[in-house]
Chains A and B, each alone.
Chain A
């Protein structure tokens, strides 16, 4: 037997469910999962790692699109998987494609902001793709495979 310094993989998954609190955390109304939303942003916007909260600045506008975007389907809880005695991954992916149905977005956009609408619209992650426009059509964002190597959100130790 031997001891090995490591981040506990279970901790990675629990970070995604708000189990641990090293500081000051919001008081939660229930144990249910928060509601997450996905908003689209113009190519001219500036979203990156420093983005802290959803903002309408730089967000797409157009027929059929509601400011703030759409609610993300979340039917699968975060998973934590060990890959060795020192490494593991906590990961989560929306359980359905994100779909903006019958919209007209004529100004080029290339970014989706995932944010937590339950917790004051705090930002989660920024995802970019090739620039698009939509005309009286549907924009569909299909999620990557929910796995240790491809999930939309991955917390990893190596």
Chain B
């Protein structure tokens, strides 16, 4: 599979792949890195948002 890198399109067989993830109450995130001879040449991340600000409204009593 061809990967877009800082050195152009490269076959992933030539690269070292590293992956990671974070899952908490705010987000679920996955990232992938490709390294060439100790140099980071590609990093992508996918963040899925879980929580967002909630805005409250009130109809106040008039008495």
**Does A143 lie at the interface of the complex (its beta carbon under 8 Å from any beta carbon of B)?**
yes
- Shortest CB distance B38–A (Å): 14
Residues of chain B with a CB closer than 8 A to A150's CB: 50-52
A-facing mask of B19-51, CB < 8 A → 1, else 0?
Answer: 000100011010111000000111111111111
Chain B's closest residue to A141 (CB) is B47
A interface majority secondary structure: strand
- Name the 5 nearest CB pairs between A and B, nearest first: A137-B44, A135-B43, A142-B48, A7-B59, A140-B46
B interface majority secondary structure: strand
- Shortest CB distance B49–A (Å): 5
Chain A's closest residue to B45 (CB) is A132
18 more A-B residue pairs beyond the given contacts A127-B49, A144-B50, with a C-beta to C-beta distance below 8 A: A5-B59, A7-B58, A129-B26, A130-B29, A132-B45, A135-B40, A135-B43, A137-B43, A137-B44, A139-B45, A139-B47, A140-B44, A143-B49, A144-B49, A150-B52, A153-B55, A156-B56, A158-B56
**Does A12 lie at the interface of the complex (its beta carbon under 8 Å from any beta carbon of B)?**
yes
Residues of chain B with a CB closer than 8 A to A153's CB: 52, 55
**Does A37 lie at the interface of the complex (its beta carbon under 8 Å from any beta carbon of B)?**
no
Q: Is the CB of A130 within 8 A of B52?
A: no
Chain B's closest residue to A4 (CB) is B59
Q: How far, in whole Å, are A156 and B46 apart by their CA atoms in the complex?
A: 29
* Interface size of A as a range: 20 to 34
B-facing mask of A88-112, CB < 8 A → 1, else 0?
Answer: 0000000000000010100000000
**Does B13 lie at the interface of the complex (its beta carbon under 8 Å from any beta carbon of A)?**
no
Chain B's closest residue to A125 (CB) is B53
